[in-house]
Amino acid sequence: MTSSENKAAARQSEGGVTKPIRKVVIPAAGLGTRFLPATKAQPKEMLPLVDTPTIQYVVGEASAAGLDDVLIITGRGKRSIEDHFDRSFELEHSLELAGKTEELELVRSISEMVNVHYVRQGDPKGLGHAVLSARQHIGDESFVVMLGDDVMDPKAEVTKNMLAIHAQTGYSVVALKEVSPEEISSYGCARVETDDDGLVRIMEIVEKPKREEAPSNLAVMGRYVFTPTLFDTLAETPPGRGGEIQLTDGIAALMSKEPVYGYVFTWGRYDIGNKLDYLRATVEIALSREDLGPPFREFLVDLLQTDLDSQHV
């Protein structure tokens, strides 16, 4: 073995990797206030991107990464999420009678993607509290956390690449992406170092720092792979920013017990809680579809030309 391979093997042994990760936690209990009034009576996670709810893209990403046990953390007013991933016998019967086999297969496939479970968070005490509420379901296993309003382009394979780093090291992995200095105060922020194997290790992590206090411009994105040790640190984490139990604070405490690695990616993420990003996601996803892409692209070109012409009148 090379020196690099020996180090990787040692890390894997220390981390105690014994089996592939199967379980994923999707926190979806937030109120979605950035998208009012649309989210007054429906979950933000059910906002459609073209014709598919946001959270279905997240569950689809989990399935593509080999995760088949999904726990969704819900709250009041989130029943439609449960209904979406359940069987709809009346609808299926109606589609079958109408001979709409393609639509029937589509509807049935939603309930067959993965095994879905639900836990209600109860009090909205923060993202860290939401993840901690999954402890009994996860048990003593490593697991994935995927935020319900962060959508990743499937071709970016963010979660799959993070799982590969966890398999190599045995430790937790946090998704990171560079943002502008003006944006960093909206995110968790990490300072990192790269080791001899090219792995990125997180040395410091803070929640929504002021621009002038940020340790870097690497923002924490909505994908995480955690060892079960995180539950112990979250249970000991006091309320932080906003009076909530912050997941970022739990990660900082975890770093005092074991290494935490970062996975830096550059593209493919949509923040569906942000209106401009939501519109961008809708347009880009529509353009990528074979059934909608060509005519929609033609419409956008005509619209742009009409706008340009009107400015020269």
Q: Are 96 and 48 in contact (CB under 8 A)?
A: no
Start-to-end CA span in the chain (Å): 71
d(CA 276, CA 33) in angstroms, rounded, equals: 15
Query: pLDDT tens-digit profile of 98-130?
Result: 999 999 999 999 999 999 999 998 787 899 999
Q: Count of CB atoms within 10 A of residue 224's CB?
A: 25
The β-bridge partners of 262 are 174, 200
Q: Is the pLDDT of residue 61 over 60?
A: yes
Question: What are the Cα distances from residue 294, in Å, to 287, 297, 303?
Answer: 7, 5, 14
Q: Is the pLDDT of residue 8 over 70?
A: no
Radius of gyration of the chain measured on its C-alpha atoms: 21
Q: Is the pLDDT of residue 15 over 50?
A: no
Would you state the pLDDT for residue 106? 95
- 62-86 mean pLDDT: 94
Would you state the pLDDT for residue 242? 78
d(CA 271, CA 277) in angstroms, rounded, equals: 6
Question: Which candidate, 288, 289, 277, 283, places its Cα nearest to that of 303?
Answer: 283
- Output the pTM of the full model: 0.91
* Domain locations along the chain: 20-273, 274-308
Give the total residue count for the chain: 313
Q: Are 120 and 72 in contact (CB under 8 A)?
A: no
Q: Is the pLDDT of residue 5 over 60?
A: no
pLDDT band at 310 (very low <50, low <70, confident <90, very high): confident
Query: pLDDT tens-digit profile of 32-42?
Result: 888 999 999 99
**Domain 20-273 in this protein, CATH class:** alpha beta
Residue 13, token pair as written in the block: 């042994």
**Cα dihedral across residues 127, 153, 165, 22: positive or negative:** positive
pLDDT band at 313 (very low <50, low <70, confident <90, very high): low
**Cα dihedral across residues 44, 21, 9, 249: positive or negative:** positive
